[in-house]
Homo-oligomer: A and B are copies of this chain.
């Protein structure tokens, strides 16, 4: 397989994997196998996959509460992700983090933050650190349209800009923060327009098109690696699911229409990528189906792995609190 095809097929595979992972999450929440909160990424897969495809293994990412897709796109082990969701000791974080806190530092996944926009300053710091170390790694920080209104976002962007740090601020504008439309909470038309305030490029990207994401990110990465500083990418995208699984039941008033959701489903990122692969003669339908079935197997295996893994032991509770341990007060 040539390099390009390999890349494109990996992108397809990762999008399908993330989709299947989150379809499973829905089921597990319904059956109460998965407890706590779960925010599905379904419909937004092209953003993480396109962006991470532009990264090296030793580059860094940070995420948010809706971060099943980000670590998988960066190459995180789906079995560890699934085990973490079930609170098992074999999970990314030994069960201590759960759905909103997947991280694998060994491959640059610096973790997700349940506090909205809270990972942005951390991403800036990772970029500062890596720059001070004389390395040419870059950091991609994923955050939502809602997060863009936090003060942390302003401070992070300004710091990255004045220090010319290798950060890509990747705003996943899925158009809502829970039930609040971004049009009501952001004063400008595009969040990328705010880049002007930091003297950095601001680019609006079609978040349903993995290749568009890949290309825009590749440019931003090149800029960052060359020491030219940060970029703000706004990926226009959409979540098909409710803000978090189960939330639909307690919503009193609708905030978006069925038509709107349907219209976005017509621009499904996996469909778009598949159609491109087939139209351009890069892959056959059979190859695509093959990927789909491999993904199904991978998810099955991950589920089995997670289910069969042990829970952490009570003795493990206080471990991990401190690197240099202290007695529990």
Residue among B187, B188, B193, B200 making CB contact with A187, cutoff 8 Å: B200
Among A158, A188, A194, A200: residue with most chain B CB under 10 A: A158
Bound Cα distance A199, B198 (Å): 15
Q: How large, as a class, is the contact surface on chain A?
A: 20 to 34
Asked if B184 and A188 sit within 8 Å, CB to CB, the answer is no
Min CB gap A161→B, angstroms = 4
Contacts of A1 in B (CB 8 A): none
Min CB gap A58→B, angstroms = 27
Residue among B149, B152, B186, B199 making CB contact with A188, cutoff 8 Å: B199
Per-position contact with B for A294-324: 1 when CB-CB < 8 Å, else 0? 0000000000000000000000000000000
Contacts of A152 in B (CB 8 A): 151
Which B residue sits closest to A156, measured CB to CB? B151
Min CB gap A66→B, angstroms = 22
Residue among B155, B162, B185, B194 making CB contact with A151, cutoff 8 Å: B155
Contacts of A188 in B (CB 8 A): 196-199
Which B residue sits closest to A149, measured CB to CB? B158
**Helix, strand, loop or mixed for chain A's interface?**
helix
Bound Cα distance A179, B196 (Å): 26
Flag whether A94 is at the interface (Cβ < 8 A).
no
Per-position contact with B for A182-216: 1 when CB-CB < 8 Å, else 0? 00111110000110111110000000000000000
Bound Cα distance A126, B256 (Å): 32
Contacts of A158 in B (CB 8 A): 149, 185-187
Asked if A162 and B184 sit within 8 Å, CB to CB, the answer is yes
Contacts of A154 in B (CB 8 A): 149-151, 153-155
Bound Cα distance A200, B153 (Å): 19
Contacts of A198 in B (CB 8 A): 187-188
Bound Cα distance A200, B187 (Å): 9
Bound Cα distance A186, B155 (Å): 10
Bound Cα distance A267, B152 (Å): 37
Which residues from chain A sit less than 8 Å from chain B, CB to CB? 149-155, 158, 161-162, 184-188, 193-194, 196-200
Closest 7 CB pairs of A and B: A151-B151, A154-B154, A161-B187, A197-B197, A194-B197, A187-B199, A187-B198
